[in-house]
Structures are given as structure tokens and as C-alpha cells.
Structure 1
Amino acid sequence: MRPQHLVRASVSVTALALAVFAPAAVAPPAGALTSAQVGGPVVVAAPTAGLLADAVPADEGGAATVNLLGITDFGGHLERVSTQSEGVQVVAEPGAVTLACEVAAARASQPNTLLVSTGDNVGGSAYISSVLDDQPTIDILGAIGLDVTAAGNHEFDGGARDLSSRLLGAIDAPVLAANVIGNDALSAEGDGDGVWTTEVDGVTVGFVGVVTDSLPTLVAETALAGMEVTDLVETANARAAALKDGDESNGEADVVVVLAHEDADVYSNQFNGSVDAVFGGHTHHPHASAVTGRDGNRIAVVQSGQYGELLGNITLSVDRDSGAVSVLAVKNIDLTASTCTADAYGVQAIVDQAARDSRVAGSRVLTALDRSFYRGTNDGSDPGANRSTESTAANVIADSYRAWLTTEVEPDGDHYIGLMNPGGVRADYLLGDLTEGEAYTVQPFGNEMGYATYSGAQLKAVLAQQWQPDTSRPLLMLGVSGNVRVYIDQDAADELEEYWSRISAGEQAAADLEEAVDAARARVIRSVYVDDVELADDASVVVASNSFMLSGGDGFTGLREATVSGTGVLDRTVTAEYLQAGGAVSADLAKRQIGVDLDAAVGGTATVRFTGLSFTAASEQTAPGAAQEVTATVALADGGTQQLTSAAIDTTVTPELPETGTTTLSIALPADVATTACPAGGRQGEGVSAAGACAVVSFTLVARDGSTRSVDFQALVPVAAAAAQAEARVPAVSNQVVVAPEDEPTVAGTGIPDSLGSAGATALALLAAAGVACYRVVRRGLLGRLGAVPSDA
């Protein structure tokens, strides 16, 4: 038994004393909040001081009450952080003191309360904690009395040895990971094999902890040496069933709670009838509802976001006679709105000491930034939550990697580029002085800098691995250095995103879609330009990145295909020196990865869709250098050019996707357009024939300040059939030629009157072409798909 459970009685006394001597902090406010409606949408309650003192009372009928509080992805965010928003001071992170105060208030009101976590308590942490090896966070969770936690992926950052020899002994709660086998110390936690049981109000509550199936892609390969990750859902269901199978030899529980370091909204309905409640995590998305499980059972589900901003609450009632479990409350409490700040469990002193110790090392100013560099957002208020979109923060780090490669290493190769994984960027770079501590906060992992050489084909394959239909997020959009431009086949991207939706909803298994995913990935990277030239498959490209990425982390297994040269230099040191040297005093607001889809038809018209032209941060969308519109231009036969059309860019954010910044241009070719032979083979648009004539349409991005940038992609649009026939057949000396049916194969046998001649044939051909085009449009609509693959320039 861990020491914290021996002192549970003293913790309860502390909580009661807090309620007596600090009534302002724990007394329930007027107008207590209601819990989330069972089965309803996410409900985030906004407490006043000590709202959790108003906990759900025990049933009067003698049923047992189990009150559960949950956190996830706390990541060492110990301090209370406030920001100015339109002149009003807003709490962005409530901090550990408020968390402790609210937990104490709940325990004082409802003794049958347990505090749980779904992992990422440490690792990838805020600077105040990470620079001190997360010991302040471990001390605080121990002081508050964390009862049990699942292991998150960041608990494995330091590898098996650090987990076994340091973390498991330091964290004063069972650390559960039932689906990770091969580590004896981890398997021995709790009651063993990822399970822990405890008694609450006379009933036994069993906890099953599991970590995301994506764990092998989220840590360096060496970190999991000797360990294997099994299927999260299957493992949790097996452990839960064993806890309710009536066999005392394998442990029994009246209530089973799954602590899953994985998105609860995606997976919770796949748990079986033995599961009563689920706490989720990993993706930082808040969620609270009751869902129907695999066997028709009702499951209370909560996911409390990140950084202690929310405190999840599930209250269950257990009928002592029948054993039936019912849900009394499912909600998230918004701790950013809490005024509960009385010091409980001595947490304030731990935070203060950590602040003193960490800030001494981090106060040195590296440089001054004249603008901010932001991570991806879903709604403008959750920076870093959208890892599926390109961000200026990841791009500037990729720029620093390339600069280091170019100036410090200079290996052999045709091109040098930098790549940065979005999950490795843990904070934004903000306008003004950038201190060493702030730079550390952005890159807290301390990975080693490295580089390796790949062919152009291998790099394209790596970029295609940004789409990850079988993981928690549809894709992870890399930061790429400024000398790289990637053109995405948006039609293939749409397909991959649809596969992710099916797999994450449990509609189809990943294995069943493996061939389809591979085929779409083979198409999704349309072209790549490096150093202003299109990247050839046999080109030599030297990639600089951190050791985590180069070892295949985050699912980029293609990076393992080359021998990596390590350097012993920390990645954050490289970026800090780049920033200190003034390498990023301003940011390039031109997107480096954009999507294109073209649907061309015979008749001289085309529709071109662009996606991903805008960053997601509002201030970056409205900055002078941000793209505002796209224009289409074509060359004329007389050597001039003509602007065909322009379209404004819609900057509405597309959550969890890279497609923010969309526009569609409808193109109609003029009669005097210059033409070239349509290319044979390759990726051609609808209606493109090697025997026909095509016009080359070019595109330009126009920024808000009037500056322009050419798009490397060019659309090949087949010219109108009538115009092509006229150019080929009509003599310059005549305005009309009458052709007899027997001399005109197109007309012969059609029943068209002779008097109509070639005009009738042309009309018939155009009607037929229109029919084919309509068929294609209808068919695509039924399939839910957009456009055809754009043609090569």
C-alpha cells in the first residue's frame, strides 16, 4: 500500500478543517450548477469559490455513492496564468492551488470522492516543472492525494529505465498501463496487470488504466525497448470483464472505471457491458456525456481537456442489492472561472519554490521578436490543440534546423531542409523579449539534433505520412523550412480524412482499409518544390530534425529508412541560437503546404479548389502579409496574358484539419487563348486527352498588403471542342463550310438532316460531352467526393 492511502484519513480531516476555517473557499454558492444532461453534449460548468463543495449527496434509498474527480494532460502547469482580453483580465490556466482547493472542497462535502488522472501528468511540461525534472508536479499530486492514474505517452519520454527507476517510485499513486507489456515494474503497479481496486462507501471500485495505441509513434523507438503495446479497447474490455466475472481469484469489482489516455469521445462507445465509466485524455479535447456502450450499457464519459483548466466529475450510484450502477452526474468544471484559492494540502509553498528555482535559470533574454509565432488552433482560443494544420511556430523551428544544417554541418546533398513535428511545439513564441525559459517552454523535450539523407521519393513518402487515418488525429502537419513548398492532392486528402472518420467512429477496421489508405497516400503528395525547383524522385535531400522525429516518431516511419547522424547538440539549443542571431525577427505568412483540386471538362471551363491557404491564428490571418485572394491568369495567342478571374480566401478555421483558407475559382477560357498539346499519361484532369489542345492557367496569391507570390501549380485546361474544330477545319477565306453526311463520320448514321451539316454534328458532340460531365457531377455527389486529380504542368 502506498503512503498516501495510509494518510487518507488525515487528508479528509484537512479537507474538513478547510471547510470549517475557510468557509468562503468551500461554501456552495447561491445558484448551484446542474450537471450535464445524460447523453447530451459537452457541458462545462463555471464554478464560483468552492463549487465542488456542492457535491451530489448519497441516495436516500441506501445506495452507495461513488464520486470521481478527474484530470488529464496536466503537464506541470502549476502556476495561475492570466491574460488580457479586450481590456479584461482572463484566467487562462487556474494552476495547482485552485485545483487543490476545489478537490478539498469536494472531499469535505462528499467523503466518497476519489481523484484520478489519465496520464501525461509529467513530460512535455511547462517550464516551471520540466526544468526541474517535473519533481514539483510529482510533489503536488502527492500532496493533493491523487488516488490512481493511467500512464500517458509522456510518462515514457525518458524510456523504460526512467519510468521504472524514478517515476513509478516517485508518483504516489498506482500508475496503470494494462496494454503495455514487457516491463515488470509497470505491470506490478496497483493490483497488477494495469488494474487497481479500492473500497468506496462499502462497494469495490476497479480501475483499468490503458495508454493510446499510438504510443510507439509518440516516443523514441529506444524508449519502448523490450515493451509491446496491445490494443487499448480489447485490453480494457478483457480486464473489465474479469473484474465482473464472479471469479474471486482474479479480483472483483462492483464498479469498473476505465482510465484511458486516449480520446474518450472517439472510443468510449466501444467498451463492453462491464464498463461503467470512462475518463479520457491525450487529445486535449474536453468532453462530457453518457453514451451507449458496445453491449447496450450506459457509460459515463468525461475528458477534462488539458493543463488543469477543467476538473472532470462523474458521480455514480450503486444499488447494494442488485449491483445496478446508475449515473447521477457527468460534467466538467471550468476551473479557470473558479475563485477557490485557499491553500489546501500545502500546495502554495511547492508552487512558490518551483517558481523561484526555475526562473533563476530562465530569465536571460535571448532576443526580441517583432511578432508572434503561433501553433494551430481549432477555435482561436486553444493554441496547440490543432496539430493537423501548418503553423508558424513549427515552421520557424524547421527554419532553425535548416539554418544549422547549412552553416554548422554542410553535408553532401542536393538540398537541405528542416522538418518539425507539431507535437514537439509546446507553446507559442510571443511578441517581445524571448527569454531562455520561454524558449525552453516551447521545446521542453531536450531531443538531440540529427540529420539524414533521403531521396526525393522517400521525402514525398514521409510527407504522405502526415495523414494518419488509424490514429487519434486525422493527420499531423509538419513544420517545413521556408525553401520547401508542398502541393497536396486535395481529392486524395479528402479520401484519407474520410477513412479516419470511419475508423475513429468504429464503422470500419483500420486493417480493412489498409489497401485503400495506401493507395490514397500514394496520391496525396502531388508535387514538392525545394529551392525553387520541382523535387525529382532521385534527388538527394538532407533532412535536419530532432532525434524523436528521425527515429520514426509520431508515425513518420519513413524517416527510419536512412542512417541518422547524431550530433550531441540539443534541438532547443539550435533553435535558441537561431532566434538569438535574429534569424526569425519576422515570419513568412505564406503557407508552405497547400491543397489543390481541379475539375476540368471539355468546353474550355474548369473549377479549381485551393485549401490550406491561411494559418489558424486570427492575428496571422489579418496581418499584412497574409494571403487574401487568388487570381487565375492565362497566356494568349498573341503573346499577351489575361486575368481570367479572382476569388477571395475564406479564412474560417477548419477544426482538426489543415484546410483553413479555402477558395474556389471558376475558369472560362477566352477564344484567343494560347494552347499546347495536352500531356500523355500522368495525372490529368477530366476531359484532358493527349490528342487535344490545352491551355496553361497560372495562379497568384495576393496578400493583404498587395504583395504577390506565384503558385508553382499550373492547371492544364482542355480548350473548347468547337473552337478546336473551327481552328482545324475552317479555311481563312470562308466563314462557313457545308459538309455532306457521307463525308462527315460524326454525322453519318445519326439521322441529322443534311441541311444541318457539321453544325449539327458539333451540337450533338457538345450535348454528349455535357451529358458525360453531368453524369460525373451526379456520380461524385453521390460519392461525397470533390473534383478530379489536377493535371500536371
Structure 2
Amino acid sequence: MRSRHLGRLVVPLTALCLAALDPGAVAAPTAVTGSAIGGPVVVAAPVGGMLSASPGASVADERAAAAAAPAGADAATVTINLLGISDFGGHIERVSTDSEGAQLVSEPGAVTLACEVAAARSATPGTLLVSTGDNVGGSAYISSVLDDQPTIDILNAIGLDVTAAGNHEFDNGATDLSARLLGAFDAPVLAANVTGNDALRAEGDGDGVWTTQVDGVTVGFIGLVTDSLPSLVAGPALEGLEVADLVHTANARAAALKDGDPDNGEADVVVVLAHEDAAVYATQFNGSVDAVFGGHTHVAHATTVTGKDGNRIAVVQSGQYGELLGDITLSFDPATGAVGVVQAANIDLAASNCATDAYGVQAIVDQAARESRAAGARVLTSLGTGFYRGTNTGSDPGANRSTESTAANLIADSYRAWLTTDIRPEGDHYVGLMNPGGVRADYLLGDLTEGEAYTVQPFGNEMGYAAYTGAQLKDVLAQQWQPDTSRPALMLGVSANVQVYIDQDAADELEEYWSRISNGAQSAAELESAIDAARARVIRSVYVDGVELDDDASVVVASNSFMLSGGDGFTVLRGGEVSSTGILDRAVTAEYLQAGGATSADLAKRQIGVDLDVDAADGSATVRFTGLSFTAASEQAAPGAAAEVTATVALADGGTQHLTSAAIDATITPELPETGASTLKIALPADVATTTCPADAGSAAGVSANAACAVVSFTLVARDGSTRSIDLQALVPVGAAAAQADAGVPEAADQVIVAPADDSLAGFEVADFLGSFSVMSVAVVAASGLACYRVIRRGLRGWRHAVPSEA
């Protein structure tokens, strides 16, 4: 995820609250380079690069000047300078693309990182380099294929001082972490909220804490891993471990470090290294916390906030892959013990021209490149289009896991192909599922090598399969909405034989609950019943192999071992009797690609949202579709991308009449699955064919028993004119259709008439449950309450980087 987008705003405008700093909260704070969490990323000039924040002055010069005389401080004030990385993920090699004659740097690489760290340490001796985890695991091919040893060697060479453990440090299990990684890293690896592993517990000063001296000032670091760790790593990998609440643990450790009791360790300045999005938790830390480095979600931000005790906290989150270098400068007054914030910013390493081979890093990168590329140069296939992950801006691939992507769908297709050709177990249907977080790179247009395919699926999970009922599969799909985690949703890749229809009203409700939990307005426990109720109805219908899925049907699901063990919160999958195969998931996908299983992306969305409100009195309806578009810019512009939705209705004389069409608004809804929205206003003509409305069709709209309903069908029209029918059909009470005709509704002769034999929707059965959409009329009030929130969040986003052009 090449994140430069603005992070989430939460209802009601929580980010504005975080930005409303009280100048009296801490004595004599200095000027802060920062922005609201969820606001624009504060990007400082590289220390060793050509950019500077003011003419003739480097960032190092400005930092030194600010630290030399912070507002309200005396000459004895000590400056604490901290640099931080997050989710480095083995991206040690510089990656750039040619864009109109200019080199666009997407991954600065380890040499640039090392050069900038060396320059900062030269400018400010005593500068510390920290990390919030995911240094290794889920890594780029150059590192992953070599068990991440090159990345470990580089971070050791640069002199990483301390790191939190991220979830990926646990990928190969707690035993691998304690027996290999802890000894391989020179820096202490901290996870204060994880118990059950003695070696991990002993790191640093013990209990997830490490202290060090900077100019006579004791700086304490508390490392923590996301509370979601049990859902992010395969179950057996965490056997014997327990994960405690991140915020509670951090506050307890911080308070102990400043309680005056030397027996439990003391620190003058306390810094939290949290492998979790700091935008969610920063304001919940107590008065003993002075600075926070966040991570995990790959979203970048930098600011100063007010903690729960009125304390000022510098907060930085430096995105991913070494694209940014977090920069926090604090001041400490030994006379009073007061800690002030001098700077909270991110240094843009992609803009750096710093190329000095500091710490001998270049040789390590070169050796890793030789060893890794020798094994990965073979071409698997040639792709006619790219297959991209979800984006928040159209050009930051991987930033949005809360939306369906062609890359994840391709992998799900490969899983199903493996199931149907190599395994062929008993079952009514075969389905492939892929978790979005397991897709670590895009499949780009042109030749695809083994090394590039490896980079997309670096984890080396085992392929497996299990049988579930249709009802269980729907429950799995409902778990895509995760209000109590860092992201509102994790949208799975599903195989092409699956079509999911989402109750958009329920989805809106779940996303609202996520906002409340994220901004601390309500807890997950308080909303548990409401979340369960919304999840119970969020999956309106599922079609598999062209037929509506029965709850009792037997569905065999193929996926990786991480997913099938309930990873990423998909706990329903644990209920299946999993058959493991010993085959790696990336080997299955590579074989599928090599056999020509996919050469161009299928731009038909496999999961779309639907909401319908009817007016029984006059026979009209409003239908809202969401999630009709992918988010990558090149995919939105492709000929096969959906462009409009049309509605037709059967007439009493056997014909079919076009009612209306509406363009699809492909404006991206960041961090949500709703990109590609279209709303149709339907008014029925007088001579429609009718059927008896289902018993529940008008229970909330005043439709009488045995009332007549018209069947409205929908078709998606792509940019190239190709069409695809939507399985669901709307049952609209006819009401006063004749009165509409008198009021000016065009007669059938004035509209497009399609003979039944030519109608692409002819023969589709009516889904009775869609008639119950009329009970959703109450959703108007709830939806309007969310409208402002969504407009603000959609509008306040940044743009950076570019998806390779299909041209």
C-alpha cells in the first residue's frame, strides 16, 4: 500500500477534535510541524536530500535551531530526536518507474534509508532509530525468498535501536520468533501485551520495555502488537500465547515508568511503539506517554494530539515499505521534568537524493538481488492487463483492503480451478476465497516472472479446502464487515462463479458502528448486539454457479491455511473440517497463471450493494446500487468497466419496456467497498405485467394483501457497450400506475420496447426476498445521517504515485 492518502475521519469529525490542540495542555510547548490525525501527511524534506523546508536550510538545520531554544525552555533543555519506520516488509531495493521521462520512485530502498539516518545522526548526535514492527514477513521477493536475512542484516547495519513486534514477526510461529528472529536482530523486539513466551518477555528490560540514555535523559520505549494478532496469524502459530489490550497495557507500563519507583524501572520520557494505527488509539494514552509511533494499517500521518489526561503527545505513522521516515523531536527540561514537542513529521524518502552508501548497505542489497533473482527470472505468463489491489485514490495500490480487487479475485479463481481439476471433492459447489491482506503486490501488464508472482503471495501458506453449508458461506461473507478492527471491512476475493448481493442499508449501519468504535464514542461491547443484528442481514443473497445459494447446499471452499484457520477475523471458516495438502498457495496460483488461466482482468464486480425504497401509493421506487466499480484508475478507464445501470419492466402485452438508466459514479469511497454508485428513480407505466406481491413486500409500506407487483429487472452496461444482467429483480407495488400515466409518464410507445426473446433478462426468476426491500424505507433517515460523514471523508484525500498505464 503506497499510502499518501488522508486517513479516516470519524463521526462526528473526530479528526477535527484531535487537531483542536489546547495551548495550555502542557507547559510551554514549542511550535509543532503537524496535522490532524487523518489529515494531510506532514512531509519534511530529507535531511540529506535536495529539498528543504526553507531556503538554504535543511530539516536538520531547522530541527537543531528549534531544539536549541524551544519556547519557554531554558538552556539546560535536552533534545530527544527519534526517527521511525513502520511495516518495512523487506523492501530493501530501490524501485522506480519511468513516467514521461522522469523517474517516479515508488520504493526508496535501504540505501536511501541508511543515508538519511546517517545524515540525521551526524546533524543530531544521539538520534535513535525505531520501528513499529513488520520489519520482516509478508516481504518483498528479494528478502522473503532468503528468509528475510538480508533485511535483518541491513537493519542491524544501520543500527536499529529498538522495534516493536508486528503481526508478521509471528508468521512462522512463536517458536521461530524466539529461536531465530530475536537472536538475529541486534535491537530488542518488544511486545508488552503478549504473554506466554519467555524469550520474548525477556527482550529489552523485560515485559516489553526498553530504556536508554540520551544526553543524561532516560528514554523508555514500550513496544506493543495489535490486539487483532490472533486473527492475523494462523492459529497454531500463536499456541500458548495470550494478547492483552494494547491501550491498557501501554498506559500501565507508561505509568510504572514515571511512578518514582526505581524497582519497576523509571524513565524521563516515554515513547510508545505500537503496531496499530495511532489514529485509533493516540488520544487514549495517559499523561505518562509523550510520543507514539504507529503502524500496521500502512496509513501515514503525523501530528500532535491531546491525551486522555490533557497531555500533549507527538504522533507519527510512517506508512510502509520505507517510503517515509518518521521524525519526532522532543524537549526535556531536567529542572521541571516537563516534556515538550518540537516536531512531529514524516520525511519523504522518495524525494531524497541521498545516495551515500552509509553503513555498507549497498553490498547487502546487491548480494540479495543476485541470489533472489537467479531463482525468479523464469516467465510464467504474459498478462494482457494488470490485476490491481484496492486503492483509496486510484493510484495507491493496496491502500484499500476494504474493497474488492481484481488481484484478489484472480487468486480466488486459481484456488477454485485447483479444486475443480486436481481435487474434485464431493459437494454441490466449488468456491475460491482470498483474503486481501495476503495480496502484497499487483500483477502488472506484460511478462510475469516467478519472482514477481512470489512477491504477490510471499507468505507461503499451505493450500487447503473444507466443506460448508450455504448458510455458513453467507456468514463468512458477512464477516467481511469488521467494526471492531482497524479497518471497517476486509473484502474477500471470490471466484468468478460467485455473485454476492449486499444489503447496503445494513452495510451502512456496520460502517457507522466502526466509526463510533474508532473514535471512542462507543465500545465494541456496547454495540455487540447491534453489530450482530446488522451482520445477520448484510448478505442479502448469494448466487453460485448461476443459481441462488440454498442455506443447506454443500459448498467446498478452497483457500490458504491462514484463511481456513479463521485468520483476519473469518472465524466461521474454523468450523469446517479442513483437508490440508502440503501444496503452497502461490504454487497453485503460479500453475494457474502458467496454464493461461487468466490473461486479462474481469472487471465485473462480484460483490455489489443494493438498497430499494418503494412508494406503494404511486407505484414508484428508488434503487441504489453500490460497489459497481473497481478502484484502480486504469481499471476504471478500461473498456469493460461498468458505466451505467438500466431498468426494464415486463408489460402486460408480453413486451419489455425500458424504464430508466443512470450513470455509475466511479468516485472512490476510501476505505470502504462502495466505489461505483448509481441510483435509479423508477416510475411504472400503466400497462405493466403484474404478479402477486410477496407477503412481506409491503409490510412497512401499506401494501394490502394480494396487491399487484411489477417485476423490474436491471442490466449493467460497460464502457464498450457490453452488458451483464443483475440476478436480483425488484418487486414494485403497482399502486396508482394509471394516475401516473395521466400525469405525464410516457406511454410504452414513446419508450424503448424490447421483445421478450431479445431481452437479456428474460427467464430470470424473481428473488422473492428483494420484494422485502420496501421495508427498508426507514433507511432514508439513517442514510442521511451518514451522508455528511461520507462526503467529508471522500473529499479530504490526497493523491500520490501512479498505477502503471495499460497503454
TM range (shorter): 0.7 to 0.9
Counterparts in 2 of 1:725 and 1:112: CA distance versus 1, 3 Å:
closer
Counterparts in 2 of 1:697 and 1:113: CA distance versus 1, 3 Å:
same
Counterparts in 2 of 1:314 and 1:584: CA distance versus 1, 3 Å:
same
Q: Which residue of 2 aligns with 1:219?
A: 233
Counterparts in 2 of 1:773 and 1:596: CA distance versus 1, 3 Å:
closer
- For the residue of structure 2 that corresponds to 1:56, the secondary structure is helix
Q: Deviations over 1:405-424 (max 9, x none)?
A: 00000000000010000000
**1:43 and 2:42 matched:** yes
Q: Which residue of 1 aligns with 2:712?
A: 697
Give the structure-2-normalised TM-score: 0.86
Q: Which residue of 2 aligns with 1:667?
A: 682
Q: Deviations over 1:454-485 (max 9, x none)?
A: 00000000000000000000010000000000
Does the 8 A contact of 1:91 with 1:336 survive in 2? Answer: yes
Rounded Cα–Cα distance in structure 2 between residues aligned with 1:336 and 1:261: 23
Rounded Cα–Cα distance in structure 1 between residues aligned with 2:476 and 2:131: 34
Deviation at residue 585 of structure 1 after TM alignment? 1.1
Alignment root-mean-square deviation, CA: 2.1
**1:253 and 2:267 matched:** yes
Does the 8 A contact of 1:448 with 1:546 survive in 2? Answer: yes
Q: Which residue of 2 aligns with 1:443?
A: 457
Q: Which residue of 2 aligns with 1:541?
A: 555
**1:159 and 2:168 matched:** no
Does the 8 A contact of 1:54 with 1:106 survive in 2? Answer: no
Q: Which residue of 1 aligns with 2:381?
A: 367
Rounded Cα–Cα distance in structure 2 between residues aligned with 1:84 and 1:636: 57
Q: Deviations over 1:329-384 (max 9, x none)?
A: 11000000000010000001100100001000101111111111000011123211
- AA aligned opposite 1:662: A
How do 1:401-550 residues align onto structure 2 when only pairs under 5 Å count? 401-550=415-564
Deviation at residue 690 of structure 1 after TM alignment? 4.0
Counterparts in 2 of 1:271 and 1:668: CA distance versus 1, 3 Å:
same
Rounded Cα–Cα distance in structure 1 between residues aligned with 2:409 and 2:775: 41
Does the 8 A contact of 2:34 with 2:302 survive in 1? Answer: no
- AA aligned opposite 1:449: M
Does the 8 A contact of 1:598 with 1:685 survive in 2? Answer: no
Counterparts in 2 of 1:628 and 1:272: CA distance versus 1, 3 Å:
same
Rounded Cα–Cα distance in structure 2 between residues aligned with 1:497 and 1:428: 27
Q: Which residue of 2 aligns with 1:348?
A: 362
- AA aligned opposite 2:674: E
- AA aligned opposite 2:33: A
Does the 8 A contact of 1:118 with 1:151 survive in 2? Answer: yes
Q: Which residue of 2 aligns with 1:742?
A: none
- AA aligned opposite 1:219: V
Q: Which has the higher contact order (CA 8 A, sep 6+)?
A: 2
Q: Which residue of 2 aligns with 1:243?
A: 257
Q: Which residue of 1 aligns with 2:400?
A: 386
**1:627 and 2:642 matched:** yes
How do 1:322-333 residues align onto structure 2 when only pairs under 5 Å count? 322-333=336-347
- AA aligned opposite 1:698: S
Rounded Cα–Cα distance in structure 2 between residues aligned with 1:774 and 1:280: 40
Does the 8 A contact of 1:687 with 1:718 survive in 2? Answer: no
Counterparts in 2 of 1:314 and 1:608: CA distance versus 1, 3 Å:
same
Q: Which of the numbers 569, 579, 584 marks the counterpart of 1:555?
A: 569
- For the residue of structure 1 that corresponds to 2:432, the secondary structure is strand
Deviation at residue 776 of structure 1 after TM alignment? 5.7
Counterparts in 2 of 1:685 and 1:90: CA distance versus 1, 3 Å:
farther
Deviation at residue 201 of structure 1 after TM alignment? 1.3
Deviation at residue 526 of structure 1 after TM alignment? 0.2
Q: Which residue of 2 aligns with 1:56?
A: 63
Q: Which of the numbers 98, 101, 114 marks the counterpart of 2:128?
A: 114
Rounded Cα–Cα distance in structure 1 between residues aligned with 2:556 and 2:216: 63
Q: Which of the numbers 587, 592, 595 marks the counterpart of 1:581?
A: 595
Rounded Cα–Cα distance in structure 2 between residues aligned with 1:776 and 1:510: 24
How do 1:26-425 residues align onto structure 2 when only pairs under 5 Å count? 36-37=33-34, 41=39, 42-47=41-46, 49-50=48-49, 51=58, 53-54=60-61, 56-57=63-64, 58-60=67-69, 61-425=75-439
Deviation at residue 267 of structure 1 after TM alignment? 1.0
Does the 8 A contact of 1:685 with 1:716 survive in 2? Answer: no
Deviation at residue 693 of structure 1 after TM alignment? 1.1
Deviation at residue 112 of structure 1 after TM alignment? 2.4
Q: Structure 1 vs Structure 2: percent identity of aligned residues?
A: 79
Counterparts in 2 of 1:532 and 1:389: CA distance versus 1, 3 Å:
same
Rounded Cα–Cα distance in structure 1 between residues aligned with 2:677 and 2:703: 25
Give the structure-1-normalised TM-score: 0.87
Deviation at residue 46 of structure 1 after TM alignment? 3.7
Deviation at residue 587 of structure 1 after TM alignment? 1.9
- AA aligned opposite 1:170: A
Q: Deviations over 1:668-702 (max 9, x none)?
A: 01111111111013797745554311111100000
Q: Which residue of 2 aligns with 1:612?
A: 627
Deviation at residue 37 of structure 1 after TM alignment? 3.9
- For the residue of structure 1 that corresponds to 2:372, the secondary structure is helix
Q: Deviations over 1:277-299 (max 9, x none)?
A: 00000000000000011111110
Rounded Cα–Cα distance in structure 1 between residues aligned with 2:466 and 2:777: 49
- For the residue of structure 1 that corresponds to 2:728, the secondary structure is coil
Rounded Cα–Cα distance in structure 1 between residues aligned with 2:33 and 2:659: 53
Rounded Cα–Cα distance in structure 2 between residues aligned with 1:614 and 1:689: 38
Rounded Cα–Cα distance in structure 2 between residues aligned with 1:582 and 1:773: 46
Counterparts in 2 of 1:554 and 1:683: CA distance versus 1, 3 Å:
farther
Rounded Cα–Cα distance in structure 1 between residues aligned with 2:479 and 2:582: 27
Runs of 4 or more above 6 Å deviation: 682-685, 772-775
Q: Which residue of 2 aligns with 1:567?
A: 581
Rounded Cα–Cα distance in structure 2 between residues aligned with 1:234 and 1:683: 49
Counterparts in 2 of 1:391 and 1:273: CA distance versus 1, 3 Å:
same
Q: Which residue of 1 aligns with 2:802?
A: none
- For the residue of structure 2 that corresponds to 1:654, the secondary structure is coil
Rounded Cα–Cα distance in structure 2 between residues aligned with 1:630 and 1:775: 22
Q: Which of the numbers 727, 730, 736 marks the counterpart of 1:715?
A: 730
- For the residue of structure 2 that corresponds to 1:107, the secondary structure is helix
Deviation at residue 785 of structure 1 after TM alignment? 8.1
Rounded Cα–Cα distance in structure 1 between residues aligned with 2:348 and 2:526: 40
Q: Which of the numbers 643, 657, 660 marks the counterpart of 1:642?
A: 657
Runs of 5+ consecutive residues of structure 2 not aligned to the other structure: 1-30, 50-57, 70-74, 742-773, 789-807
Rounded Cα–Cα distance in structure 2 between residues aligned with 1:682 and 1:775: 12
Does the 8 A contact of 1:373 with 1:429 survive in 2? Answer: yes
- AA aligned opposite 1:140: I
Q: Which residue of 1 aligns with 2:770?
A: none
Deviation at residue 777 of structure 1 after TM alignment? 8.4
Rounded Cα–Cα distance in structure 2 between residues aligned with 1:773 and 1:175: 54
- AA aligned opposite 1:570: L
Does the 8 A contact of 1:601 with 1:686 survive in 2? Answer: yes
Does the 8 A contact of 2:247 with 2:284 survive in 1? Answer: yes
Count of aligned pairs: 709
Q: Deviations over 1:69-124 (max 9, x none)?
A: 00000000011111123442111111000000000000001012100000000000
Q: Which residue of 1 aligns with 2:28?
A: none
